């Protein structure tokens, strides 16, 4: 209510030339929520559903939490070699799903 300017519609034209108009919405860019990112997130979510619980945990900790294979191994109580093998297997399965 104490805004410096009154709110305007995103559909408000800011430039007109003949039949061509540029609207406020055309000038706003959202690099965080692009169509590509949205589609990628859906694909990743669906792929993760098809992994077993151990694979989900490893992939999640490695790629979403940024943990090393050694850190993951210590957290879940297996060797780094097992984490590496399970990670590779999970990634290979995901790749096969989307070929």
pLDDT above 90 (res 73): yes
pLDDT above 90 (res 85): yes
Question: What's the pLDDT tens digit per position in 28-72?
Answer: 766 676 777 778 888 888 999 999 999 999 999 999 999 999 999
pLDDT above 60 (res 1): no
Q: How many domains does the chain have?
A: 2
Higher pLDDT, 77 or 16: 77
pLDDT of residue 24: 77
Q: Are residues 87 and 69 in the same domain?
A: yes
Q: Are residues 88 and 74 in the same domain?
A: yes
DSSP symbols for 27-86: H---SSS-HHHHHHHHHHHHHHHTS-HHHHHHHIIIIIS---HHHHHHHHTS-HHHHHHH
Q: Are residues 62 and 80 in the same domain?
A: yes
Domain that holds residue 24: 8-49
Q: Are residues 75 and 61 in the same domain?
A: yes
């Amino acid at each position: 209510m104490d805004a410096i300017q009154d709110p305007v519609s995103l559909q408000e034209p800011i430039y007109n030339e003949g039949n061509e108009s540029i609207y406020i919405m055309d000038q706003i860019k959202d690099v965080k929520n692009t169509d590509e990112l949205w589609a990628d997130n859906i694909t990743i979510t669906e792929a993760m559903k098809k992994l077993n619980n151990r694979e989900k945990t490893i992939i999640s900790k490695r790629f979403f939490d940024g943990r090393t294979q050694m850190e993951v191994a210590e957290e879940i109580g297996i060797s780094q070699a097992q984490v590496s093998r399970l990670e590779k297997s999970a990634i290979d399965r995901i790749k096969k799903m989307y070929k």
